[in-house]
Chains A and B, each alone.
Chain A
Amino acid sequence: METSTAIHSHDPHGPHGHGGHEEHHALGFWRTYVFSTDHKMIGIQYGITGLCFLFFGFCLMMVMRWQLAYPGQALPFIGKLLANVVRNDGMNAGGVPGVMTADFYNSLGAMHGTIMVFLGIVPVAFAAFGNYVVPLQIGAPDMTFPKINMASFHSFWVGGLIMLVSFFCPTGPAKSGWTSYSPLADLADQSTNVIFNGQTLWILGMVFLITSSLLGAVNFVTTIIQLRAPGMTWMRMPFFCWVQLITAFILLLAFPPLEAASFMQLMDRVFGTSFFLPHGVTLNSHLVNVAGGGSPLLWQHLFWFLAHPEVYVLILPGLGIIAEVLTNNTRRPMWGYKAAVFAALGIGFLSFIVWAHHMYLTGMGAAVSTFFQTTTILISVPSVIILTCLLLSLWGGSIRFTVPMLFATAFLPEFGIGGLTGIPLAFNSTDLYLHDTYYIIAHFHYIVAPGTIFAIFAGVYYWYPKASGRMMNEFWGKVHFWGTMVCMNIVFFPMFLQGMAGMHRRGFDGGATYDLNKPVIHWNTTISHAAWTMGAFQLIFIFNFFWSMKFGKKVGNNPWNSTTLEWSAPSPPPHGNFLEPVAIYRGPYEYSVPGHPVDFIPQCDPQGPRTDAGAHGH
């Protein structure tokens, strides 16, 4: 039997060694906190940077919500400040400080989407939690490629910096939607002679972010395949690790076509090519001087080929986190582990062949629309299977409502609402009406916001003691939960009503132009106030996060009495993670095993029955 870690060997010139004999704190500030190759530090780097971007993207939305609630009115206090800072008179419409221009509204929308998806959720849910937890959960000393891991983080923050810098371009940041459709995205910001304008910087930022994800994906897959500790068979692996594996595969194979398309759009913008420009495009009543012969639809296909699997990238890690938190706080094994694993694999595969359901309104004929409708409805099956397994995992449990559990429990119906409201969108007939309305916004936000973001919160509260050795404050955690929970639903539920009335999703004036919006336009103020209130509740979380680092209750290895492997390591784990070589003897969720004196048996405990995850018949 191979030993899993070579903790006791000293190879000062080993390929991934940094000198071998030193502990990591002797490496100095830069090698410890900035250029670290330790997966835990990289996980924390991703986590904090990603959470900052999440908050920034949230702030962009809060500014947008002012315009939607009070179109044309000056934003108080902050408005004057923004009027001076924002380029191109974006917050100084008509010379009135604090009033937003339509262009700037579009920029806010495009950047809110881009930042939340690529700089917020993916880095936190996939990269941060994945990097920190996965090697610990499989019993590995680190990722297989620590230096590539470091490179992926640095590529990420550089991409993020480029996105932020784009706010200071003369014509403002990207403003063609997070979807960056051509011909608009080919031509936006071309009025200036500045090559590095906002729309172009968006593409460059995306290239760095895609690179970061690809490097990370290679690391995750290789690590999970190669570095599982002895006894950690595939079916004894925590569900969280399974979904991270699948997510990594999705990123690996879905991102490159978007990278190809990004290069093409970059060439359209900088070199005057016409990959996505047909003949006869006019801009400001003049024919654009390009060869033509390109296809705007080609961009859409290549974009959505990534962007659809991307939404599964956004939800799968969340589902994994919820599984971990639920099993731990119900003190019972996961219901249907095997079914959930196969369902997740099914989602991973199917996610690649559903993308054109985002393109039902592009004039696709019956054959191709039918194909995509069919695969889209098919993919709802494994999604429901996983949600059902999670729901049934509550049954017969001894539930304790810790803060992570509050978020995990709330996740279930919220994700249910998000998923079920996707059904009408799968059919091109109903989607014809609902496409590009607020219904869509409500649908996907229910999945990502009270879905994945709740999972992220659950994960932060849950794994915080492992990473820091201290608990976050429970009372303020509960306040954070209830405030966020209530506000989330006030923000997003009315959007279904607005969407069903036909309100368009990108209206800068909150829908005032169209009479059909009249019955539902009043919701804008309610939604906006709820969003700002939700913002205030996040301040509690931020304070709690930093305060607890110094003053939180100190804990040992396993404050939650959990079975998975990360809780057998010290809190926080040292460089190399485990003090002794690890071996696995049972499945990941051996809680409340009949006849056992304690209500949980850690995976690596040599005492106790040997099992697989599916051993108890559920």
Chain B
Amino acid sequence: MENEPSHAPDHDTAHHVNKHVKGYLMVGGLLLFCTALTVFLSYVNFGTQKANIVVAMALATFKAGCVAAIFMHLKSEKWTIYRFLLITAIFATGLFLLTALAFHDPIRLNF
């Protein structure tokens, strides 16, 4: 029963999806704009190299968020999937931060 072919379009889903098509195109346009913005801002001097990095990464995170939330439907996804991603985020962050801590906090010899 679960896997039977459905030949007639599932009306609810079809309408639902149709509403979103315009949204996909708009987000696509937004992403292209943000790309151009990222390139432009990288040639603006924000003071230090670190500041430029922060600006670029903030924009990249926003773009990635759009792709994830809207193209990958994460905005309306199920709790099971969120759980996987939350755990992954914790471990990926842990890998980076703890390794950074180890590099940042070595034994320093004061001969």
Tell whether any CB of A sits under 8 Å from a CB of B in the complex.
Answer: yes
Q: Give complex CA distance A356, B98 in Å.
A: 9
Q: Give complex CA distance A297, B107 in Å.
A: 14
Q: Give complex CA distance A160, B37 in Å.
A: 49
In the assembled complex, A365 has its CB within 8 A of some CB on chain B: yes
Q: Which of A1-24 contact B (CB under 8 A)?
A: 2-3, 6, 9, 11, 14-15
In the assembled complex, A359 has its CB within 8 A of some CB on chain B: yes
Q: Give complex CA distance A253, B88 in Å.
A: 7
In the assembled complex, B106 has its CB within 8 A of some CB on chain A: yes
Contact of B102 among A249, A257, A297 (CB under 8 A): A297
Contact of B2 among A2, A254, A298 (CB under 8 A): A2
Residues of chain B within 8 A of A359, CB atoms compared: 102
Contacts A15-B3, A352-B91: A363 and B107 contacting too (C-beta < 8 A)? yes
Contact, CB under 8 Å: B94 / A356 = no
Least CB distance from B15 to A in Å reads 27
Contacts A2-B2, A3-B1, A11-B3: A297 and B98 contacting too (C-beta < 8 A)? no
Contact of A363 among B1, B2, B88, B106 (CB under 8 A): B106
Query: Using a Cβ–Cβ cut-off of 8 Å, how many residues does chain B contribute to the interface with A?
Result: 18
Contact of A14 among B1, B3, B103, B107 (CB under 8 A): B3
Q: Give complex CA distance A372, B98 in Å.
A: 9
Contact of A368 among B3, B87, B105 (CB under 8 A): B105
Q: Give complex CA distance A14, B1 in Å.
A: 12
Least CB distance from A485 to B in Å reads 38
In the assembled complex, A536 has its CB within 8 A of some CB on chain B: no
In the assembled complex, B42 has its CB within 8 A of some CB on chain A: no
Q: Give complex CA distance A301, B80 in Å.
A: 30
Residues of chain A within 8 A of B2, CB atoms compared: 2, 6
Q: Give complex CA distance A192, B103 in Å.
A: 34
Annotate B69-111 by CB proximity to A: 1 below 8 A, 0 otherwise: 0000000000010000001100100110011011101111000
Q: Which of A337-364 contact B (CB under 8 A)?
A: 349, 352-353, 356, 359, 363-364
Q: Which of B1-41 contact A (CB under 8 A)?
A: 1-3
Residues of chain B within 8 A of A254, CB atoms compared: 91
Contact, CB under 8 Å: A356 / B102 = yes
Q: Give complex CA distance A511, B80 in Å.
A: 53
In the assembled complex, A225 has its CB within 8 A of some CB on chain B: yes
Contact of B103 among A15, A297, A305, A352 (CB under 8 A): A297
In the assembled complex, A514 has its CB within 8 A of some CB on chain B: no
Q: Give complex CA distance A2, B3 in Å.
A: 12
Contact, CB under 8 Å: A367 / B101 = yes
Contact, CB under 8 Å: A368 / B98 = yes
Contact, CB under 8 Å: B87 / A253 = yes
Contacts A14-B3, A301-B99, A371-B98: A253 and B91 contacting too (C-beta < 8 A)? yes
In the assembled complex, A366 has its CB within 8 A of some CB on chain B: yes
The chain B residue sitting closest to A15, CB to CB, is B3
Residues of chain A within 8 A of B106, CB atoms compared: 363-365
Q: Give complex CA distance A184, B94 in Å.
A: 28
Q: Give complex CA distance A14, B98 in Å.
A: 48
Q: Give complex CA distance A441, B108 in Å.
A: 30
Contact, CB under 8 Å: A364 / B102 = yes
Contact, CB under 8 Å: A364 / B91 = no
The chain B residue sitting closest to A11, CB to CB, is B3
Most chain B CB within 10 A, of A11, A298, A352, is at A352
Annotate B45-77 by CB proximity to A: 1 below 8 A, 0 otherwise: 000000000000000000000000000000000
Residues of chain A within 8 A of B99, CB atoms compared: 298, 301
Contact, CB under 8 Å: B101 / A353 = no
Least CB distance from B98 to A in Å reads 7
Q: Give complex CA distance A305, B92 in Å.
A: 10
Contact, CB under 8 Å: A367 / B95 = no
Q: Give complex CA distance A124, B95 in Å.
A: 29
Residues of chain B within 8 A of A298, CB atoms compared: 99
Q: Which of A348-401 contact B (CB under 8 A)?
A: 349, 352-353, 356, 359, 363-368, 371-372
Most chain A CB within 10 A, of B1, B88, B95, B101, is at B95
The chain A residue sitting closest to B80, CB to CB, is A225
**Known A9-B1, A305-B95, A367-B101; further 16 A-B contacts with Cβ < 8 A:** A2-B1, A6-B1, A6-B2, A6-B3, A15-B3, A249-B87, A253-B88, A253-B91, A257-B95, A295-B103, A297-B103, A364-B106, A365-B107, A367-B105, A371-B98, A372-B98
The 9 closest A-B pairs by CB, nearest first: A365-B105, A301-B99, A363-B107, A368-B101, A368-B102, A367-B105, A368-B105, A352-B91, A363-B106
**Which A residues have a C-beta under 8 Å from some C-beta of B?**
2-3, 6, 9, 11, 14-15, 225, 249, 253-254, 257, 295, 297-298, 301, 305, 349, 352-353, 356, 359, 363-368, 371-372
